[in-house]
């Protein structure tokens, strides 16, 4: 679980602005605040707004939150949230100036709802949706859109691992919950930016990804050159062989 971060100690330190006014108003009303940090040039920010946040189940899950969308370049955003984020879209969940959760990158409705519900759980609020899988409790730091991962990999001199899964796939769940949660596998993946996308995401084909098996894991350079592809479920020991082979081809 993520560490709770205190943004500010005194209301007197706040300056006037849309973000800070919303923080003050949420505290006054005693309700949690959801802040989406976006960018005008961010395609996945638009996708988050027009698909995920308009989903009926997501709306039901969010109904007890105050919501605000702000630009990454906003001075208050840079002052209070800048050091806590890498790229847009990033959604912060706050209560009384404390960051309780942070969801980074584009998230489909099924991947976003667990973040909302986990925040409610931390605040002792009642869940408004059923059958939620707690993605936020995973020890893996996932990114959920390829362009942001490519940009981040380039900045950090890391390679990329793209996990193509499906919510209906038993073996996708097995690979994620068992193989990828293995400490040996996670240690071996320290030099990779980890991306999780769904097979149904139309955007993956633009990167030449057309998996014939689910799950499929692509190991790639930051320039999107394929190193090796692992199709199907593998135990931790077998998956490590793919990781090591990918590293040998860098």
Residue 203's CATH number? 3.40.30.10
Alpha helices in the chain (DSSP H): 18-29, 43-47, 56-62, 75-80, 109-123, 146-156, 170-174, 183-188, 236-248
What is the reported pLDDT for 132? 52
Residues 16 and 124 in one domain: yes
Structural domain contains residue 110 = yes
Structural domain contains residue 171 = yes
The total number of residues written for the chain in this structure: 250
Domains identified in the chain, total number: 2
Residues 106 and 202 in one domain: no
Phi, psi of 132 (to 5 degrees): -95, 130
Residue ranges making up the domain that contains 183: 146-248
Contact 116, 58 (CB under 8 A): yes
Alpha-carbon span 75 to 90, nearest angstrom:
16
The token pair at 152 is 């981040």
Residues 125 and 66 in one domain: yes
What is the reported pLDDT for 83? 87
Q: Tokens 């189940």, residue? A: 57
Using alpha carbons only, give the angle 23, 28, 34 rounded to the nearest 5 degrees. 35
| Rg from Cα positions in the chain | 19
Among the listed residues 92, 176, 97, the one whose alpha carbon sits nearest the alpha carbon of residue 134: 176
Contact 150, 195 (CB under 8 A): no
Structural domain contains residue 140 = no
What is the reported pLDDT for 201? 80
Structural domain contains residue 138 = no
What is the reported pLDDT for 14? 39
Residues 179 and 76 in one domain: no
Give me the sign of the Cα torsion angle 119, 173, 230, 202: negative
What is the reported pLDDT for 202? 72
Output DSSP code: residue 204. Answer: G
Structural domain contains residue 188 = yes
By 3-state DSSP, what share of the chain in percent is helix, strand and coil, each rounded to 5? 40, 20, 35
Residues 87 and 150 in one domain: no
Residues 68 and 184 in one domain: no
Alpha-carbon span 46 to 26, nearest angstrom:
25
Residues 150 and 125 in one domain: no
Contact 31, 66 (CB under 8 A): yes
What is the reported pLDDT for 129? 74
What is the mean pLDDT, run by run of 10 residues, along the chain of 250 residues? Answer: 48 58 92 94 87 93 95 90 88 94 87 91 86 56 83 88 93 95 94 91 85 96 95 97 96
Measure the N-to-C terminal CA separation of the chain; round to a whole number of Å. Answer: 33
Q: Tokens 């020890």, residue? A: 139
Contact 161, 193 (CB under 8 A): yes
What is the reported pLDDT for 3? 52
């Amino acid at each position: 679980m993520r560490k709770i971060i205190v943004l500010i100690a005194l209301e007197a330190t706040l300056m006037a602005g849309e973000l800070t006014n919303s923080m003050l108003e949420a505290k006054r009303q005693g309700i949690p605040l959801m802040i989406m940090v976006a960018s005008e040039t961010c395609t996945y920010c638009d996708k988050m707004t027009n698909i995920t946040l308009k989903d009926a189940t997501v709306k039901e899950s969010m109904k007890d939150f105050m919501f605000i969308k702000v630009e990454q370049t906003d001075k208050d955003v840079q002052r209070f949230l800048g050091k806590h984020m890498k790229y847009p879209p990033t959604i912060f969940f706050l209560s009384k100036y404390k960051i309780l959760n942070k969801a980074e990158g584009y998230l489909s409705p099924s991947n976003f709802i667990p973040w909302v519900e986990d925040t409610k759980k931390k605040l002792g609020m009642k869940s408004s949706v059923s059958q939620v899988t707690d993605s936020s409790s995973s020890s893996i730091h996932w990114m959920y859109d390829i362009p942001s991962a490519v940009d981040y990999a380039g900045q950090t001199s890391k390679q990329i691992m793209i996990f193509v899964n499906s919510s209906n796939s038993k073996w996708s769940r097995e690979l994620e919950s068992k193989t990828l949660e293995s400490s040996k596998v996670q240690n071996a993946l320290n030099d990779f930016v980890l991306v999780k996308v769904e097979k149904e995401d139309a955007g993956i084909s633009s990167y030449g990804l057309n998996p014939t098996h689910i799950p499929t894991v692509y190991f790639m350079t930051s320039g999107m050159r394929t190193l090796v592809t692992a199709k199907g479920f593998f135990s931790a020991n077998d998956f490590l062989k793919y990781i090591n082979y990918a590293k040998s081809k860098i």
